[in-house]
Structure 1
Amino acid sequence: MDGAKYLWSDPDTNYTAWKEMDIPQLWESAGLAGLDGVVWFAHEFQLDPQDVLNDLEIHLGQIDDNDIAWINGFKIGETQGYNLHRAYHVAKDQLKTGRNIVVVRVEDTGGGGGIYGEAADMYVKLSEKKIALSGSWRFRIGKGDFSSTVGPNSMPSLLYNAMIHPLIPYGIKGAIWYQGESNTSRAYQYRTTFPLLINNWREDWGLGAFPFFFVQLANFMAPSVQPEQSAWAELREAQSLTLSLPNTGMATAIDIGEANDIHPRNKQEVGRRLALNAIRVAYHQDVVASGPSYNAMQIEGNRAMISFDHIGSGLYLKDKYGYVNGFAIAGRDKVFRWARAQIMGDQVMVWSDMVAEPVAVRYAWGNNPDDVNLYNLEGLPAVPFRTDNWPGITVNERYR
């Protein structure tokens, strides 16, 4: 190792003094919002005497962006690239009967960072069995060795001056915007910057409030196991709030994303939903272009009754479970718990036996809400929402 740079790969490090984080997830969702840099992770697992007689493989799923991995102080591999599955070979002479320590140094150069993906992709592969590596890991923020995390395309005004401004003399009917993933770490700021962009383009073109349509962030990363704080959910909320501008429309994609690919493959459905918005806004035809969106909440005992706009011909359960999935409910303690939910005409009734006096409801609130199934009869998914306005994890994050 080159000096103190990789000192924490030493298995004699006191990892019990480090904090804990449930893995897999982006660290922005675990209290490290806005952190671009290096975080070290450590996890121990047990091997029986027969397990150390042969080589094995360590699978870590996907890591954003780059990593170096060790086991018991031996370097076993490194990878650069946020969307690549990590699988590292471990020689049998690097193993020990009993306690083994895997250490991963993760470097994030911008946007989300951490060991993410699906829990099923994290395991020790032995000849006859697998040992799960998902769950609680120890972590500690390290020192990065890069002088700047800003690439050329991230420099303020570069993309606008190079790619947008030259188009301004030409007439346009409208614009479609498909972006937001790289802004999730400062999602609250997007509430301001995104409307500013739209208004700026409209002012520059001088064509009035031309139609502007955008795609809400798709579900991505490991499915939500428990109700969670989520920078991705906060960015989706910022996009929904932008619908307050005139002549705008949003294609919700919360049901067509992929856990392991930030770029969903089903672009045909994304395009169809954008087209519905164009037909409604730009061409003034009476079509349903949005799924159900939150309107109001009424508390009745330990039940919350949720009313919606844009229900089209009615609410529809795209049934896989026999109940509406994706709702969470909280009392005054602000602790959200998974809720039961049932369609009641044009409303959804939400409750949990663990919340006697509900004050807030959230729907599809997470990086990757698992199997959301509330739609309207036109086949458009309900828009993720929350009824509370409690400060989120990106409220104080700014561009740096």
Structure 2
Amino acid sequence: MPNPRCDYFEAGRCRSCALIETPYAEQLSAKEARCRELLETVPGGAWLPAVEGGVRDFRNKAKLVVGGRRGAVMLGILGPDGAGVDLRDCLIQQPGIRAAIPRLAEFLDGTGLWPYDVPRRRGELKFAHVTESPDGELMVRFVVRSERALETLRGALPRLLAALPRLAVVTVNILPEHKAVLEGEREEILLGASLDMDLGPVSLHLRPQSFFQTNTPVARALYAQAAEWVAERRPRTLWDLYCGVGGFALHCASGAGDGASGAGSRADAAGGVSVLGVEVSEEAVRSAERSAAEAGIDARFFAADATAFALGSRAEDRPEALIVNPPRRGIGAELSAWVEGSGIDTVVYSSCNPESLARDLAAMPSYRVLAARVFDMFPHTKHLEVMVLLVR
């Protein structure tokens, strides 16, 4: 399928999809080449075919700046001059999100609230985050400056539900400060509690401030691949550090590896593996525990810093297999050194930054890469997800 023609890009209004005019096959080839160059210790034969992310309709979450003026809001990005740029017809968003954005703009017009003016540091409405589940339900999160805006949105909730009948979760996040962040600490729930992300073998419950991969089909492939690799190694115990809402842990515990490589699956070998997940967010841990209970999966989850948890563990408690899915900075020198000396047999490392992955792998010379794969979570950009299977 050819890349979509983007009027916003051609007009110079948005350059977020910097590669949208590059044929998709070339984008994917360049990402694979970059990973092979950075991860030079990975044997050529270890690389599996990359998982494609699609050319349009692939983003399950829109992080929209609220710009414009009262009664005529714009939903999109912040321009170079600090003013909002309206992107309500952006073609990389899932169709359900794209259909919701004009209705959301009309709703905000009716509230009478002022969009936040970044250069002048005044106004109320900062962001609207919209997430769509695989079943087409929506989570909408408003980021505002004050209690007054919160109460205005609370009072207008019936009108919002009428405009967007597939709403499952509505929250208001309070961010009074002028700072370059997407949300504050305080989150007020107006409707629901979590969005059900049904991935087939496992349903994950996404709470408002929890992380979830932005490309649902690629996320399915990522979790399935990890589950297949783990099943093939047949560990009795598994830790998932930086586990988030439990995607990797629960898929591995359920043996959900079908279709990951296109060559069949031995996922049934994962039966009986004892799984423990560690995540710093207590909210994400509650979501993971709920998903495990609903699926009848015997998995434990703890709210803790991943590095501190590992370094504080006893040698006899260490698992036979480990999954790590850290933020862009990687697992870092301290945790890399712990893994290197841990004696753990199998490590699955999923990374959104091949540079930090390369640094961490260099600090773990006792492991060799048995398999590697690029997952194109972010088409039309240079960003990617790459996952490797390490064995001691």
Higher strand share: 1
Higher helix share: 2
TM-score, shorter chain, exceeding 0.5: no
Q: TM-score of the superposition, structure 1-length normalised?
A: 0.28
Largest Rg, 1 or 2: 1
